[in-house]
Amino acid sequence: MALIEWRESYKVGIRSIDYEHGNLIWVINDLLGKLSKDHTTDDIVQALGEVHALIEAHFALEEKVMRDIRYSSYPAHKKDHDRLLDDLREIMEGVEGGGDFMKTLGETVNAWFTVHFSTFDKEFHSLAHSQR
């Protein structure tokens, strides 16, 4: 089973964005799925580092568009992005101390996507799309 499942509730209603979010989930699953059975802590930290970089790049792009259109909810939206990146960093640090990072990561990211995509992203992308 994939670590993160795509859910209908993740849809923001704009095809290109839904595709991007779906792809993000696919790449995260792929990166973590490639960890071999006898992975080392370093392997996990490296895979999580790639996940972090990927998500960060997606956020940076969104935030650039927000600044470009002088989006009024930018601070709150960015704060929510930063919160997930902080959580991911904490999970990376936790790997060193053992524990079931996959479970924590799956729960954290699923919960975050469920809320963020259907609220912050839906609102922002609908507005940005209507201004084109």
Contacts with Fe ion, residue ranges (CB under 5 A): 62, 121
Give whichever of 62 and 92 is closer to Fe ion, judged by the CB atom. 62
The CB-of-24 to Fe ion minimum distance in angstroms stands at 8
Q: Report the candidate in 63, 42, 49 with the shortest Cα–Cα distance to residue 125.
A: 63
The CB-of-127 to Fe ion minimum distance in angstroms stands at 12
**Could you tell me if 17 and 11 are in contact, meaning their C-beta atoms sit under 8 angstroms apart?**
no
Give whichever of 39 and 83 is closer to Fe ion, judged by the CB atom. 83
The CB-of-66 to Fe ion minimum distance in angstroms stands at 9
Instruction: Tell me the C-alpha distance between 106 and 93, whole Å.
Output: 16
Q: In which element (H, E) is residue 116 found?
A: helix 101-116
Q: Report the candidate in 103, 88, 83, 116 with the shortest Cα–Cα distance to residue 7.
A: 116
Give whichever of 44 and 84 is closer to Fe ion, judged by the CB atom. 84
Q: Nearest to Fe ion by Cβ — which residue?
A: 121
